[in-house]
Amino acid sequence: MAPPICPQQPPCYVRKVIKSAIVPVAGYGTRLLPATKSQPKEMLPVARKPIVQYVVEELVANHVEQILFITGRSKGSIENHFDHDPELMRLLNAGNKQDLLDELKFEELQAHFFYTRQRFQKGLGDAVLCGENFAGEEPFVVALGDSILGLHGDSGTVARMAGLFESRHASCVIAVEEVPREETVHYGIVQVAGAEGDCARVVNVIEKPRPEQAPSNLAIAGRYVFSPLIFDMIRRVEPDPRGEIQLTDAIRLLCEEGRRVLALKLAPAEKRYDIGNFPSYFETFVEFALADPLYGERFREALERLLAKESAAHPAR
Ligand code: G1P
C-alpha cells in the first residue's frame, strides 16, 4: 500500500526551518496602471503598509532568514524601504516622535536582504532561475510579492509547507486555494490525487486553463517550497506563446519525472489577498483598513456614512 500523503496530523507539520526565500517583484504591474507607472505594485499601500512589507514580515515570522528580491527597472524603492534611513531617524528622534519611530521597527527585522535584477521580462520561471546561486543546494521558499496571506499577513502557511516538505521528502510543496470555476484562467491550477485532509499529491499543473480545461478549481496561491531540482526543470521549459518561461511548467516536469509534489490547502483564516488587479486591490485595502487596530473603527463609520449617502442618492442600486 502506498504510504499516506500526510500520515498523521500534526506530525507532518513539524516545524522545520527553510532559511532562504526568493521574492519575485520584477513584473511591470500593467494591470495597475497608471498607479504603477513609476512605482512597483509591491510598494502600493494596503492600509498602513506597502504590500511587500506584509510579505517580508510573514516570511520572517515563518523562520526565513535571508530573502532575495528578483527586481527590475523602477523597483529601487523596495530596496530603500528595507534599508535603514539615518536622516529620517535623526529627524524623528529630534522631534521625540516615538510613535512614528515605532512604525519603523520593521527595519530591525532579523533577515538579510539581497537584490538581483531579472534583465528581461521572461516570466516567473525565469525570475526564479535568477535565484539559483542564492539558493545553492538548499531548499527554498518562493513567495510572490503581490500576494498577502491572511488578514494582517500573519499566515503560518510557509512554516507548515516547510514541515511537509521535510517530513514527506517532497521536491515541491505548493500552497493552493479553491477559486470559482470561472476564474481558473487567472491561476496555475493543480490536479491532485488522493487528498487527505488539506494535503494532496499533485499529478499535474496547468497555467491559466479555461474553466472547461481546468482539472480542478484548486489554484496556486503564491507560495511554494522547492528543492533546487526545480532549477534544472526551469531550464528545460519551453517559452509559452508570449515568450515567458512559466514556473508552473517546471513544476509539471517535476510531476512527470515522478517527483513528489504536494499541495497544501490554505486554512480558511489564511485567505490570499491578490493585489494584481484593481478590484481585488480595492477590496483588500478596505478589508485591511477596517481591521486596522488604530483607525479601523473611524474608517468603518466613514464607510457606513458614505454607503448610506450613496444608497440615498441612488435607491435603485
Ligand atoms: C502567477 C502564477 C500562477 C499563480 C498566481 C498566483 O500568475 O503564474 O500560477 O496561480 O501567480 O497569484 P500571475 O498572477 O503572476 O499571472
Are residues 274 and 219 in contact, defined by beta-carbon separation less than 8 angstroms? no
- The residue-averaged pLDDT of 86-111 equals 82
Are residues 149 and 266 in contact, defined by beta-carbon separation less than 8 angstroms? yes
Mean of pLDDT over the chain: 90
Q: Give the mutation target among 30, 179, 186, 230 for probing the ligand 1 site: most ligand atoms within 8 A of CB.
A: 186
Residue 50 CA to residue 59 CA, distance in Å, equals 15
Taking the model in full, what pTM does it have?
Answer: 0.90
> What is the distance in A from the centroid of ligand 1 to the CA of 28?
14
Question: Residue 287's closest CA among 276, 274, 277?
Answer: 274
What is the position in ligand 1's atom list of the atom closest to the CA of 27?
15
Binding-site residues, ligand 1, Cβ < 6 A: 124, 144, 147, 187-188, 207, 219-220, 222, 247-248, 274, 276
Q: CA 77 → CA 24, 47, 50, 121, distances in Å?
A: 15, 18, 11, 19
Residue 254 CA to residue 258 CA, distance in Å, equals 7
**Highest mean pLDDT: which range of 30-39, 89-98, 244-253:** 244-253
Per-residue pLDDT reduced to its tens digit, 164-203: 999 999 999 999 999 999 999 999 999 999 878 889 999 9
Collapsing DSSP to helix, strand or coil, 48 comes out as coil
Give pLDDT, residue 5.
53
Return the residue matching grid coordinates 509534489: 261
Of all protein residues, the one whose alpha carbon is nearest to atom 10 of ligand 1 is 187
Per-residue pLDDT reduced to its tens digit, 18-40: 999 999 998 888 899 999 998 99
> What is the distance in A from the centroid of ligand 1 to the CA of 87?
38
- The residue-averaged pLDDT of 304-309 equals 94
Give pLDDT, residue 3.
47
Are residues 176 and 80 in contact, defined by beta-carbon separation less than 8 angstroms? no
Backbone angles phi, psi at 181, to 5 degrees: -45, -40
Of all protein residues, the one whose alpha carbon is nearest to atom 1 of ligand 1 is 187
